[in-house]
Amino acid sequence: MKVLVIGGGGREHAIAWKLAQSPRVEKVFCAPGNPGIARVAECVGVEVGGDFAAVRTWAKDHAIDLTIVGPEAPLVDGIVDAFEADGLKVCGPSRAAAQMEGSKIFAKDFMLEAGIPTGAAQYFTQSAPAIEYLETLSAPYVIKASGLAAGKGAVVAHSLDEARDTVRQMLDERVFGEAGERVLIEEFLEGEEASMLAFTDGTTVLPMSSAQDHKPIFDGDKGPNTGGMGAYSPAPVVTPELEKEIFDTILQPTVDGLRKRGILYKGILYAGLMIGRDGRPRVVEFNCRFGDPETQPLLMRLDTDLAEVALAIAEERLGEIELRWRPGASVCVVLASGGYPGSYEKGKEIEGLDKVREDDSIAVFHAGTAMRDGRVVTSGGRVLGVTALAPTVREAIDRAYTICGRIRFDGVQFRRDIGKKALDRLAS
């Protein structure tokens, strides 16, 4: 079959890379793609946006059998509804289901009503009452823009002054535009973070292996949050017993609860969790798609045909699928532009990519790259995701960082402690 991937980042590179390995897939297309994706798929310049008319017409004209949507924005805007209205098979949640990421207030209200374990919260549309509420709390303060803010709409303020400034920036200065018209102030959850993703067709829920992201820019979880500076899978903090609890109390009840509301959630459900000191999981956030960079190590470990899984989701027969995982551990280290997550320069030539011998256990996934005069250059904040699979976490870390040492561009920055929490937990 012919498969179209929507998106052009590291997550979409990993999806296209995995699809290209499927014996069922004749050809992979990607809109818009990037130079790395172009090595495993045909990148097409069709417009993705608006009412999705251009990309729908392209998919019909090219007899696309299945479309997989990577980023959250088109999902929240209703690309799945548009494709299905044209009789096109697509893997991803509908506009109504994508509210689980598109509106943090919708998601929080749903969790509280459905009994999904999460932190307490209140939301505000004006800064004065929001600040008044903040003054009843103690640091740290969690402040979130309700809508999509490219992974930068959640702030953990460590002082009341910082919290007040954050609220004013979101509600008065509208730094996140419409996404920040409503602001959620949440209970701060302590513990260790973990990511649990699942495939679902609205009834059957198949959990993926566990993973752990690294949001802050600097080692030791210091500095401002980013879209993710690296990830590994599996995450030792998620024991087999805890994995079952997450399925029983969070993943399956969420899909069932949405279905009872008349919302069939099909696609990938991402639960960002905090594992408390008591060992119990609580939901920090839901995403309506594959995480980035969790996708990179997860798909490197997935031993089941991704095309088969995605098609079964679209056809609502996921119960026929059994997920298999490659043994060992995989680690992804993100190479970012200097200055990220603040301002950064683009167009820096990337050297050393030709020195990396890629296979099914080593890959350099392109996140923010472009071609200029026949050379690969930087075009985003997160540039590359160096990903490696090995028998142990330690070996996977070593393999990934060895490859990082071969790749250079002006201003490159990356964390040097990706996977350390796994090593610490395994040692203890």
Give the CATH number of the domain where residue 37 resides.
3.40.50.20
DSSP letter at 357 equals: -
Question: Which of 93, 112, 135 represents a domain boundary (last residue)?
Answer: 93
pLDDT tens-digit map of 231-267: 999 999 999 999 999 999 999 999 999 999 999 999 9
Q: What pTM was computed for the model? A: 0.94
Give the C-alpha separation, 210 to 363, whole Å: 20
> Which residues does residue 31 pair with via DSSP β-bridges, in sequence order?
6
Question: Based on the domain organization, do 214 and 323 belong to the same domain?
Answer: yes
104 found inside a domain:
no
Question: Based on the domain organization, do 196 and 170 belong to the same domain?
Answer: no
Instruction: Average the pLDDT over 43-71 and give the result.
Output: 96
Question: Based on the domain organization, do 245 and 388 belong to the same domain?
Answer: yes
CA dihedral of residues 217, 372, 406, 387 (deg, nearest 10): 60
Average pLDDT, the chain: 96
Beta strand 222-225 with 281-287: parallel, antiparallel or unpaired?
unpaired
3-class state of residue 369 by DSSP: strand
Question: Based on the domain organization, do 170 and 219 belong to the same domain?
Answer: no
Q: How far is CA 290 from CA 14, 18, 133, 377, in A?
A: 10, 13, 34, 25
Range of the domain at 239: 192-427
Question: Based on the domain organization, do 83 and 160 belong to the same domain?
Answer: no
pLDDT class of 50 with cuts at 50, 70, 90: confident
pLDDT of res. 147: 86
100 found inside a domain:
no
Question: Based on the domain organization, do 67 and 153 belong to the same domain?
Answer: no
Give the C-alpha separation, 303 to 319, whole Å: 17
CA dihedral of residues 341, 344, 349, 351 (deg, nearest 10): -30
Question: Based on the domain organization, do 75 and 181 belong to the same domain?
Answer: no
Give the C-alpha separation, 309 to 320, whole Å: 9
116 found inside a domain:
no
Give the C-alpha separation, 75 to 11, whole Å: 15
366 found inside a domain:
yes
Question: Which of 157, 186, 215 represents a domain boundary (last residue)?
Answer: 186
103 found inside a domain:
no
